[in-house]
Chain A
Amino acid sequence: MIAAYLVLLIPFIGIVFFALAGHKADTGKLNIRFNAVCLLATVWLAINVLNQGTLLSSGKAFLIDPFNVYLIVLTAFVGLTTSIFSSPYMAHEKELGKLTDKRLRLYYSMYQGFMLAMYLVLTTNNMGVMWVAMEGATLATVLLVSLYRTPESIEAAWKYFILCGVGIAQALFGTILLYYAAVQVGDVENSLLWSVLYENASKLNPEILEIAFVFMLVGYGTKIGLVPLHNWLPDAHSEGPTPMSAVLSGLLLNDALYAVVRNKMLVDGASHSDMAGHLMMGFGMLSFLVAAFFLHRQKDIKRLFSYSSIEHMGIMTFAFGMGGPLATFAALLHMTVHSLTKSAIFVTVGHASQVAGTQSMDKIRGLIKTQPRIGWGLLIGTVAIAGFPPFGVFTSEFLVLLATMHSYPWLTPLLLLGIGIAFAGLFRHVQPMVYGNQPEGQFPVKANLWPVMIHLGLVLWLGLAIPGFLAHWFSQATLLISGSTPL
């Protein structure tokens, strides 16, 4: 359990340290070190869980089980690689005169603040604290979205703040209803602890829990970016600094979905109806299709990929909603590969827009000629996210498709159609950007593409063969969520 406390303590020290020390030349590197130490702590935690099974801290405040431990490691990993990217990127932005030392101090301090909020969402056993941490993640990132202080970025941040704040208030109402149902059956002291709720799920009042779930889905669904609550997402992703887009897309959306799934497990235990699952399937499918169409109408490169995030979150929500071991396994795998691929893409997109000096896709041309590594990185990343074999996204989407054919065959055409439309939407924009002649006066920038290569390499590996321990892990989590294993 010491590892879990370490995982929370390190980013907390980071917040205080960066806030007090201010921004200096080596702050970016220090940020990398903080994240690296944190990754080591999460790996230690994962090894503990692997050896001892589910861990519950002595005060029952923290719960580490196979479902959240792999997300914790993933969070730390993406946090580390993004910080490796962010160090030269932010230095370059400062050279361009877009940022000052004071704002960079805020940036690095809140980077750690965001990481702390993410770890707290994942590790806590208390549904109320989960809500507090989720809101904390919004508060930590809202000033980062408006970091450049342009009118557009302030508008995006305001929208993000208001929409997510109001949205997540619904989740708190859901949590209060959940607590209300729980105090009717159990002791008041521990009634909001997930482990206690899960044990007593069958005794909870199903009517109240179903109402509560609707509020939770709307609340956390705003954070997942489910249509029609998605408006903040493309704005916040496109106007904030690129490292923020990478962690928002790769981590925040996952954690919000994690919160919904935790609640779904409780509702399923209480009601034995498919109401929660069907709601998630409907919202997921709608988000998936709407986002696939919107991909075609974008002009800003970061907005393009944020719509792609909505599309993929839609698939995951759909798959978790479908339930069943195969779909759940696929959704867990998709969470992992989407995080890795999407954060890699945002890293290359950040460099690409620094090369071209703009985020407008009409003006980004000939990336492969100017800087082959960025061009190829973007192309391969897009191939991976569009679901081509042999990348991991293909595997997980294929499994979702199989599960759909098995349980809801009439939804298969819609799914195939959406995947096709999304593929076309991505490639009509990406192809002219990477191929073709470069405009005059376009020069390579100093870029660190190791994070991209590592991420895409891992996604490729997951597509070819899922390592045994990871497959075992996914099966354990699937067993926990759906009640049986697919393997």
Chain B
Amino acid sequence: MDIEQQDFYTQAILSLAALVGLTSFLMLGQGRLLRLIFIFAMQGFLLTLTAALAAYSLDNPHLYISAVLSLVLKVIFIPWMLRREVIQMQAHRDIEALHNKTTVMLGGASLMVFSYYVLHPIVQTTSPVMLNALAVSLSVVLLGMLLMISHRQAVAHVVGFMAIENGLFFAAIVATNGMPMVVELGVAFDVLVAAVLFGIFFFHIRTSIDSLDVDRLNRLHEVDK
């Protein structure tokens, strides 16, 4: 497949997929919370762009609604809320020392390869472009998980959680031109409620263990010692 022979829309989608994947890797190596939130907002913006582009190129007006939803939720509201919480709790000054940064990055790269491997059977029925788009979204989902595993701050966990949602959103736009409207609204509603609940939880965790370091949430065990 030669990329120059593809139409404009396909080329744009491929570049956006690459950029979305890149932002995921950037988040993975970021120890400062405010920068992490900024990169997350960037990823949200790329998604908005993807949705708007798909709406324009494919003449699919309901994707404009998805674009607006993702702009309001993932570029403005959630980053704003997280930023406010972080500054309120004075957590923006401490830099999280990430252990094994190199290993985590290599792990991230292998997750990406793994995503391609898992989704490879799809090539038989569709274009390689679709494989790229779907594999990138799956790896964004998996990288979100890795982000949660490698970071200890509750805020970073929320960013990872929302990044997983971003990966799913990207898959939905690129592979199927968005889910049916009712589903998309439902998912957006769930994300909104989840974001608000996370805000409440920061407050509770902070008051109960006097820190947002989730490693200190260690009172419950699988078996009693």
Contacts and interface: CB of A to CB of B under 8 A. Distances in A.
Interface of A: 126, 128-129, 131-133, 135-136, 139, 142-143, 146, 149-152, 154-159, 161-162, 165-166, 169-170, 172-173, 176-177, 179-180, 183-184, 188-189, 191-192, 205, 207-208, 211, 231, 234-235, 239, 294, 297-300
B119 A154 contact: no
Contacts of A297: 223-224
Interface string B29-47: 0000000000000000000
B90 interface: no
Interface of B: 118-119, 121-122, 124-126, 134, 137-138, 141, 144-145, 148, 154, 157, 161, 164-165, 167-168, 171-172, 175-177, 179-180, 182-183, 186-187, 189-190, 193-194, 197-198, 200-201, 204-205, 208-209, 214, 217-220, 222-224
A139 B125 contact: no
A207 B126 CA distance: 12
Given A155-B217, A169-B141, A294-B223, A143 B161 contact: no
A296 to B, nearest CB: 9
Nearest to A231: B222
Given A207-B122, A211-B121, A126 B219 contact: no
Nearest to A362: B224
A192 B161 contact: no
Contact of B182 (A128, A150, A166, A179): A128
Contact of A208 (B125, B208, B217): B125
A294 B121 CA distance: 39
A294 B164 CA distance: 32
Contact of B204 (A129, A149, A177, A298): A149
Given A179-B176, A231-B222, A297-B224, A129 B122 contact: no
Contacts of A176: 168, 171-172, 175-176, 179
Contacts of B222: 231, 234, 294
A59 B219 CA distance: 49
B122 A165 contact: no
Taking chain A's interface residues, is the majority helix, strand, or loop, or is none over half, making it mixed? helix
Contacts of A208: 121-122, 125
Closest 4 A/B residue pairs (Cβ): A128-B183, A132-B186, A297-B223, A207-B121
A169 B168 contact: yes
Given A151-B208, A172-B187, A211-B122, 11 more contacts: A129-B182, A154-B205, A161-B198, A166-B145, A166-B148, A166-B161, A169-B168, A188-B177, A189-B180, A207-B121, A300-B224
Contacts of B154: 158
B66 to A, nearest CB: 13
Contact of A211 (B118, B201, B209, B218): B118
B182 A139 contact: no
B180 A126 contact: yes
Contact of A132 (B126, B172, B183): B183
A156 B220 contact: yes
Contact of B180 (A135, A172, A192, A294): A192
Contacts of A162: 148, 157, 161
Contacts of A189: 180
Contacts of B175: 176-177, 179-180
Nearest to A360: B224
Contacts of A149: 204, 208
A120 B113 CA distance: 38
Contacts of A155: 217-220
A279 B53 CA distance: 39
A207 B217 contact: no
B183 A165 contact: no
Nearest to A135: B190
B197 A173 contact: no
A231 B125 CA distance: 38
Most-contacted residue by chain A among B125, B126, B189, B223 (CB, 10 A): B223
